Amino acid sequence: MNAPAALDTQTIRDLRADFPGLVTRDGAPWHYLDTAATAQKPRQVIDAMARALGEDYATVHRGVYSRSAEMTLAYEGARRTIATFLGGREDEIVFTRGATEAINLVMNSWGRANLKPGDRILLSQLEHHSNIVPWQMVAEATGAEIDVCPLTVDHQIDLDAAEVMLTDRHKLVAFCHVSNVLGSVLDAPRAAALTHRVGAKLLLDGCQSAPHMSVDVTTFNCDFYVFSAHKLYGPTGIGALWARSEILDAMPAWEGGGSMIDRVTFEKTTYAPAPQRFEAGTPAITEAVAFAAAADYVTEIGTARIHETEAALVARLRRELGAMNDVTLFGPADSAGIVSFAIDGIHPHDLGTILDEANVAIRAGHHCAQPLMDYLGVPATARASFGVYSTDADVDALLEGIARTRRIFGRE
């Protein structure tokens, strides 16, 4: 099979027209390089959400009138779309407020039901706070203990070290599939093999992988996969947990309310089957419809093509920054859509502020990964992250802004 062609310049230019947020209020180009934080939304997603909020709107799972039935079909159709996007089944998809809530769901339901004193959880040095703090909470509550897997010299999760560290006391491994700071890509199938060899479960934080590469939970052989819609060009306030059906079926409810019940009496309540058991209350109806529209948008373009195009931008930016003697690059050369760096004598916050004056938006800070910052020995990094709409013009503007910043600070 031939390799997928990268998106050509004309295609990217045409795609940029789908995103109304990529211009300033006065109509100038906005060089948005913070997609890892949240992606801009294409018109197709905005329109889908507007229709769902307007002429199509009704509640789901409750009304006997036709529009409610139609909206219920749309909501459950969105579940099916997200399942297909991940390579799973629709009864394995739980809609959540985002990846953070999805991880907390697993922690509160599976974790509290299965962890006990002496059990161990393996995390890695590069995890987002959302994949650290919940496990600290459940460890404190259950008596489990946490181990931290180190990184390789090129800042990837060291699976050789993980292989040595894992024992039959480990019950869960929770790894980021793609680092939100470094862009390093985990070898998910190998991580799953190592995890399952000791009888543990593998959770993958897919926030940065789902928008940038093909995802297939069957191929990954993970047990849980979480991600957020707003990273995938969709709305905020919704995400998804995928879990193996046999695991999900055995997990107890973690929130109580409407929709997640079978029968309620004051003496006893029985619960609906998964995934409804984990969706208490009125769900994010319009957000789910827009979430599906975002997945369809990415699928139509092709994640393989997106990845190849972003890889070319990453390679160019790393090459240009690597030629500067006062710049430190973090992460591997083949990072997925993300370039983190630091300039000697210039705080990332100062760089970000000066770049903003030239309509260039980057992320500057600890990126909700303070343990990783400690590991790297820096208080913060500057991070440029790409999306389907990113072009060489964005890289040009960033490099021009860096040159201006260096002049301001007397670095040239």
Contact assessment for residue 140 and residue 167, using Cβ atoms and an 8 Å cutoff: no
pLDDT of 312: 96
Read off the pLDDT of residues 190-208 as tens digits, 9 standing for 90 and up.
999 999 999 999 999 999 9
pLDDT of 64: 87
Q: What is the CATH number of the domain that holds 260?
A: 3.40.640.10
Q: What is the CATH number of the domain that holds 335?
A: 3.90.1150.10
What's the total number of domains in the chain? 2
Residues spanned by the domain of 19: 9-41+302-408
Mean pLDDT, residues 4-31 taken together: 84
For helices 392-408 and 303-322, give the axis angle rounded to 10 degrees: 30
Backbone phi, psi, residue 391, to 5°: -135, 175
**Does residue 311 share a domain with residue 321?**
yes
Question: Does the pLDDT value for residue 8 go beyond 90?
Answer: no
The residues pairing with 176 across neighbouring beta strands, listed in sequence order, are 205
C-alpha–C-alpha distance, residues 135 and 224, integer Å? 14
Q: Which residues have CB under 8 Å from 83's CB, separation 6+?
A: 89, 90, 92, 93, 242
- Residue 2: which pLDDT band, with cuts at 50, 70 and 90? very low
Pairing of strands 31-32, 93-96: unpaired
pLDDT of 224: 98
**Does residue 348 share a domain with residue 322?**
yes
Read off the pLDDT of residues 272-323 as tens digits, 9 standing for 90 and up.
999 999 999 999 999 999 999 999 999 999 998 999 999 999 999 999 999 9
pLDDT of 144: 98
Secondary-structure breakdown of the chain: helix, strand, coil percentages, each rounded to the nearest 5:
45, 20, 40
pLDDT of 4: 47
Can you say whether the dihedral through the CA atoms of 23, 24, 28, 32 is positive or negative?
A: negative
The active-site residue, picked from 176, 207, 222, 368, is 368
Residue 85 lies in a domain: yes
- Residue 1: which pLDDT band, with cuts at 50, 70 and 90? very low
| pTM (predicted TM-score) | 0.95
Residue 149 known to be catalytic: no
